[in-house]
């Protein structure tokens, strides 16, 4: 969105959020993740969903992001997690998710999902009026669960191939198709028109720290469980994106990072 600082995502991609899908809150590699980890660095044996011709550069950027997370974001998130009760963290997450309304609505409509678009309007209205400005989520209890979309997904629905895998500095996993979508989603947001840039940037830093705090354990366990964390994040991200495009997603357990997130790889 216009006037928004990229500090929004400060270090979030460093730990590969969204690289973790979990069952019973224990992250484990997605199918193909360990196979990808064992593949040669050149990536010659990788399948279509793991197309990574720029792997050498991507790994360097990934390492930079991971170190930035370890040295800056994770320590701050641990402090926040120590002082903030879980309900507070969840409420803050709900609030920022609610602000994605215009982005979700635009992309649902661009994908021809009129019903989902109507549900998006209903969800925003209910949570804003009855959910204390979006901090609570009564809409889900009414059957209006989140239906988050982004322009990268829209391009995928339109038939645009993902192209090579790409790791962005600070912002993390992406593809040649998804990366430009961040700018489109940013432009679709209305918050910069009503909030000063410095206030918005500060609020987004809070969102980033809060999100990282919610997934401290999940990210740590994912790192410990994977033979090659880079390959694990890549496989999980690409498979997750494809599932989102095909609407094959189901609600994930609490404390499980998601790519639409989020909070993480899209611009509210």
Residue 187 falls inside a structural domain = yes
Cα 7 from Cα 21, distance rounded (Å): 26
Q: pLDDT per residue over 149-201, tens digit each?
A: 999 999 999 999 999 999 999 889 999 999 999 999 988 886 666 666 677 77
Residue 188 falls inside a structural domain = yes
Residue 132 falls inside a structural domain = yes
Cα 128 from Cα 131, distance rounded (Å): 5
Q: Which domain holds residue 97?
A: 6-245
Q: List, in sequence order, every beta strand (DSSP E) within the chain.
A: 22-23, 26-27, 165-168, 172-175
pLDDT at residue 248, rounded to an integer = 81
Cα 258 from Cα 265, distance rounded (Å): 9
Count of all residues that appear for the chain in the document: 268
- Chain-wide mean pLDDT for the chain? 77
Diameter over CA atoms, the chain: 54
Cα 240 from Cα 165, distance rounded (Å): 13
In percent, the amount of the chain with pLDDT more than 90 equals 54
Residue 194 falls inside a structural domain = yes
Q: Residue 42 has which token pair?
A: 């050149």
Average pLDDT of the residues in 74-94: 93
Residue 258 falls inside a structural domain = no
What is the domain count for the chain? Answer: 1
Q: pLDDT per residue over 107-120, tens digit each?
A: 999 999 999 999 99
C-alpha closest to that of 49 among 150, 165, 158, 153 = 165
Q: 236 and 33 in contact (C-beta within 8 Å)?
A: yes
Cα 142 from Cα 2, distance rounded (Å): 33
Residue 106: pLDDT over 80: yes
Residue 125: pLDDT over 90: yes
Residue 256 falls inside a structural domain = no
pLDDT at residue 196, rounded to an integer = 67
Q: 208 and 73 in contact (C-beta within 8 Å)?
A: yes
Pick the more confident residue, 13 or 74: 74
Beta bridge partners of 172: 168
Work out the end-to-end distance of the chain between its first and last CA atoms, rounded to an integer number of angstroms.
Answer: 8
Q: Residue 160 has which token pair?
A: 């645009």
Residue 261 falls inside a structural domain = no
Q: Residue 231 has which token pair?
A: 């390959």
Q: pLDDT per residue over 138-152, tens digit each?
A: 999 999 998 889 999
SS3 263: coil
Average pLDDT of the residues in 72-83: 94
Residue 253 falls inside a structural domain = no
C-alpha closest to that of 125 among 112, 142, 110, 108 = 142
pLDDT at residue 147, rounded to an integer = 84
pLDDT at residue 46, rounded to an integer = 43
C-alpha closest to that of 170 among 198, 195, 146, 204 = 204
Residues 199-223 as b or e (16 or more Cβ within 10 Å = b):
ebbebbbebbbbbbbbbbebbebbb
């Amino acid at each position: 969105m216009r006037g928004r600082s990229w500090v929004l995502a400060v270090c979030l991609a460093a730990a590969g959020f969204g690289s973790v899908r979990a069952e019973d809150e224990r992250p484990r590699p997605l199918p193909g993740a360990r196979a990808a980890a064992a593949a040669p660095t050149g990536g010659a044996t990788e399948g279509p969903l793991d197309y990574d011709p720029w792997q050498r550069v991507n790994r360097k950027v990934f390492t930079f992001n991971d170190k930035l997370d370890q040295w800056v974001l994770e320590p701050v998130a641990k402090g926040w997690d120590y002082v903030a009760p879980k309900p507070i963290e969840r409420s803050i997450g709900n609030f920022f998710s609610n602000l994605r309304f215009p982005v979700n609505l635009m992309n649902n409509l661009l994908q021809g999902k009129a019903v989902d678009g109507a549900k998006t309007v209903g969800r925003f209205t209910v949570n804003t009026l009855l959910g204390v400005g979006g901090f609570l989520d009564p809409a889900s209890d009414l059957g209006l669960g989140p239906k988050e979309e982004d322009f990268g997904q829209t391009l995928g629905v339109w038939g645009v191939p993902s192209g090579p895998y790409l790791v962005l500095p600070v912002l993390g996993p992406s593809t040649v198709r998804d990366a430009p979508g961040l700018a489109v989603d940013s432009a679709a947001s209305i918050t910069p028109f009503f909030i000063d840039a410095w206030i918005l940037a500060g609020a987004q830093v809070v969102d980033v720290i809060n999100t990282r705090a919610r997934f401290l354990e999940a990210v740590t366990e994912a790192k410990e469980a994977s033979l090659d964390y880079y390959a694990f994040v890549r496989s999980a991200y690409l498979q997750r994106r494809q599932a989102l495009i095909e609407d094959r997603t189901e609600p994930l357990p609490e404390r499980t990072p998601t790519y639409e997130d989020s909070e993480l790889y899209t611009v509210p």
